[in-house]
Amino acid sequence: MTLLLALYIGLVGQRAVAFVQTGQPIGIGIGVALFVVAAIGALLLVLEVRFGVRITRLGARLEQEGATPDEVVPVRPSGRPTREAADELFPRYRDAVEADPEDWRGWYRLGVVYDAAGDRKRARAAMRTALAKAAATR
């Protein structure tokens, strides 16, 4: 998906150049607008890839410490945990974060449970908090 989005951004940039080269005010306006859209898309793509890399590194660090959750939960054919199983685990991980809000490990685990439950917004927020707490402890 990342490569397809990068290709799309490149194509939008190419079209922007073509519009600007027409020399007509409308074409130049459309070209500039396309440049802005391409630049915003490229920035968001870089930020998302950077976030993913940082989260992956943090997960590897957690695994090296032997602190990954050991629960076995049923999964759907897609490999994602069932929402019901994630909902059962949620109180345990929420309580762990409430008990020690400065521990990045708890925030990371909570983010994983949020993601398994399908709450992507809270999962990302918990992962961002985990990244900030981990950076502060180094």
**pLDDT, tens digit, for every residue of 7-55?**
999 999 999 999 999 999 999 999 999 999 999 999 999 999 999 999 9
Q: Considering only 27-31, 74-78, 104-108, which range has the smallest mean pLDDT?
A: 74-78
Domain range enclosing 30: 2-63
Euclidean distance between CA atoms 76 and 109, whole angstroms: 20
State whether 51 and 84 are in the same domain.
no
CATH number for the domain that contains residue 108: 1.25.40.10
Task: Tell me: pLDDT of 138 over 80.
Answer: no
State whether 52 and 81 are in the same domain.
no
Euclidean distance between CA atoms 73 and 114, whole angstroms: 14
State whether 13 and 56 are in the same domain.
yes
What pLDDT was estimated at residue 87? 82
What pLDDT was estimated at residue 74? 83
Domain boundary among 17, 42, 63: 63
Domain boundary among 46, 63, 80: 63
Burial label, 23 (beta-carbon count in 10 A; 0-12, 13-18, 19+): exposed
State whether 87 and 109 are in the same domain.
yes
The pLDDT mean for the chain works out to 92
Alpha helices in the chain (DSSP H): 2-20, 25-64, 83-99, 104-116, 120-137
Considering only CA atoms, which of 60, 86, 61, 62 is closest in space to residue 72? 86
Residues whose CB is less than 8 angstroms from the CB of residue 34 and which lie 6 or more positions away in sequence, other chains included? 12, 13, 15, 16, 19
Domain count, the chain: 2
What pLDDT was estimated at residue 116? 82
What pLDDT was estimated at residue 19? 97
State whether 97 and 57 are in the same domain.
no
Q: Which two tokens stand for residue 26?
A: 């409308």
What pLDDT was estimated at residue 43? 96
